[in-house]
Structure 1
Amino acid sequence: MAFDECMLRWHSQGKIPPTLRFYGWSKPTLSIGYFQRAKTINFQAVEKYACEFVRRLTGGSAVLHDDELTYSLVIDEHDPSIPKSVTKAYYILSQGVLEGYKNLNVPCEFAIPERELDKERSAICFEKPSFYEMVVDGKKISGNAQTRKQGVLMQHGSIPVSLDNNMLFDLFAFSSEKSRQRRKEQFAQKATSIKEVTGKSYTYEQMKVAFKKGFETGLDIHLSPLKLSEEQWKEVQELAHTKYETDMWNYYTTKERETIATAN
């Protein structure tokens, strides 16, 4: 998460060009959205599964990152190719995700048809969650989020190869086991993964190749490697240590942190 934020900062400062990053996870990690309250998390289960826990810079709900490819990209929000509408910008940038799935023979599509994007709607209606979903047979297959800061649009997303629903639902606090089981069964009807759809599993390298080609095709771009300086790597590590590894950032929302600061 520190790396993603540094990418946003560097692009704003003109230190790196528009950049696409792929990464994976050494341990299962639960990330929660910028505005999400941590009290919904079962931290005993987080410890039981030896999970990492982190708050994202972007909004949305909690995501369990495990057997997946994760991507992040940064681009000037005033770039001629980037619409001002959040939903339309998402649609443009996610063409790369769509093409990546095609490379794996996964027949996914946007939950909201392209024709709907051209209709005049209020900003609130445009930002309904269903506009942000990529689905297969009506089931969500990837999670994505955006933020715009310092003149830069950052979008990152989770592309799961497989889902561990048992672990996922153990990581949340429920009023009863019956409620947990009911929600888990409902989730299974609403979400899917590449392995469930295709019956195949893929390595991180195979996923990276498929989605790198997907972004090049979907966005009509050519990607070339970006090498970071030693100073930039140190900046990532420093931000991770001072922000994303801290309890104050991870366990409390901005409002909660402000309340704590006032009380002190």
Structure 2
Amino acid sequence: MRETWYFLDSGYGTPSFNMAMDEVLMNWHSEGKIPPVLRFYGWKPAGISVGFFQKVGGSIDLENADKYGVELVRRQTGGRAVLHDDELTYSVLVSEDHPAMPKSIKEAYLVLSKGILEGYRALGIPAEFSIPEEKKKQAGSAVCFEEPSWYELMVDGKKAAGSAQTRKKGVILQHGSIPISMDIEKLFDLFIYPNEKVKERARRAFTNRAVAINDVLEQPVTFDEVKHAFKEGFLKGLDIDLEPFTPPEEMLREAAELEEKYKSEEWSYKREGRQKV
């Protein structure tokens, strides 16, 4: 008999709300109030999420972020910065003790990312898992979509989706970015490079390393079409049933309270100070 998880379609949210809701869901699942959850959401306005341990100063161009109307938020998971614009973002919250969840972070990625793999296939995109040569040396760039990690999704040798995972309060939180289209000029305007020559070289190289859904489809798809495909993908890839979940008022109040943390400069800049370049 297949297990039933909650499915929460949050629609579009602000960067602070999106991160706050993931944390609330983690808390509620940790307390046994809700079963495992699959959540889908988008970003309005667009946001840059920086990794939990990442420094903002010297890597993010805050002046350009303001100019583009892109909000910065620090997420609970590690890794490098991600621009969330025209994309579907997913999050999965499941107990570390769940019988289907390996103890190894790398192997848990494989289990959870099967849903993403099947989502691409539902769109007719021949995706596959990346298996880097013993985790290639980290590039000096602050941009997340530079190199694939273990079991991230690749299309024609290019990184198609990026995910990050943390484990807190006995719960695995894995969330990730599934780009529908990418504005590469905007993306590279949001990060700091030593000079324009280096920036242009990085931008040209990026097009050979990353790809969005509508780059590979003959007929572009919408946000709602992508949601439908990836919902089917998680049903198949994780072999689960999904029950629609509407957050109760108590949960929404907790998310609103946590939003204040994610909006704060103390959280987002980790006491670095807001240094514009």
Q: 1:38 aligns with which of 52, 56, 63?
A: 56
Would you say the 8 A contact 2:115–2:237 is kept in 1?
A: yes
User: More strand by proportion, 1 or 2?
Assistant: 2
TM-score, normalised to structure 2, is 0.84
Instruction: List gaps (5 residues or longer) in structure 1.
Output: 122-127, 258-264
- Name the aligned partner's letter for residue 23 of structure 1: Y
Instruction: Name the structure 2 match of 1:131.
Output: 150
Q: CA deviation at 1:138?
A: 1.1
Q: Does 1:24 align with 2:5?
A: no
Q: 2:198 aligns with which of 174, 179, 183?
A: 179
Q: CA deviation at 1:201?
A: 2.2
SS, match of residue 141 in structure 1:
strand
Select between 138-147 and 200-209 the one with higher mean Cα deviation.
Answer: 200-209
Q: Does 1:83 align with 2:102?
A: yes
SS, match of residue 182 in structure 2:
coil
Q: Does 1:4 align with 2:47?
A: no
Instruction: Name the structure 1 match of 2:89.
Output: 70
Structure 2 counterparts to residues 50-199 of structure 1, below 5 A: 50-112=69-131, 130-199=149-218
User: Distance in 1 between the 2:219 and 2:252 partners?
Assistant: 35
SS, match of residue 131 in structure 1:
coil
User: Distance in 2 between the 1:36 and 1:200 partners?
Assistant: 37
Structure 2 counterparts to residues 218-237 of structure 1, below 5 A: 218-237=237-256
SS, match of residue 243 in structure 2:
coil
User: Distance in 2 between the 1:132 and 1:48 partners?
Assistant: 35
SS, match of residue 69 in structure 1:
strand
Alpha-carbon deviations, 1:27-48, whole Å to 9, x = none? 2211111011001110010011
Instruction: Name the structure 2 match of 1:247.
Output: 265
Would you say the 8 A contact 1:140–1:191 is kept in 2?
A: yes
Alpha-carbon deviations, 1:22-65, whole Å to 9, x = none? 00111221111101100111001001101111011000111111
User: Distance in 2 between the 1:206 and 1:131 partners?
Assistant: 27
- After the TM superposition, which parts of structure 1 deviate over 2 Å for at least 4 consecutive aligned residues? none
Q: CA deviation at 1:129?
A: 5.4
Instruction: List gaps (5 residues or longer) in structure 2.
Output: 1-18, 135-146
SS, match of residue 149 in structure 2:
helix
User: Distance in 2 between the 1:51 and 1:129 partners?
Assistant: 24
Would you say the 8 A contact 2:148–2:162 is kept in 1?
A: no
User: Distance in 1 between the 2:154 and 2:66 partners?
Assistant: 32
Q: CA deviation at 1:197?
A: 1.2
Equivalences, count: 243
Q: CA deviation at 1:132?
A: 3.9
Q: CA deviation at 1:207?
A: 1.1
| Percent of pairs with identical residues | 51
Would you say the 8 A contact 1:194–1:200 is kept in 2?
A: no
User: Distance in 2 between the 1:140 and 1:192 partners?
Assistant: 6
Instruction: Name the structure 2 match of 1:213.
Output: 232
User: More helix by proportion, 1 or 2?
Assistant: 1
Q: CA RMSD in A?
A: 1.9
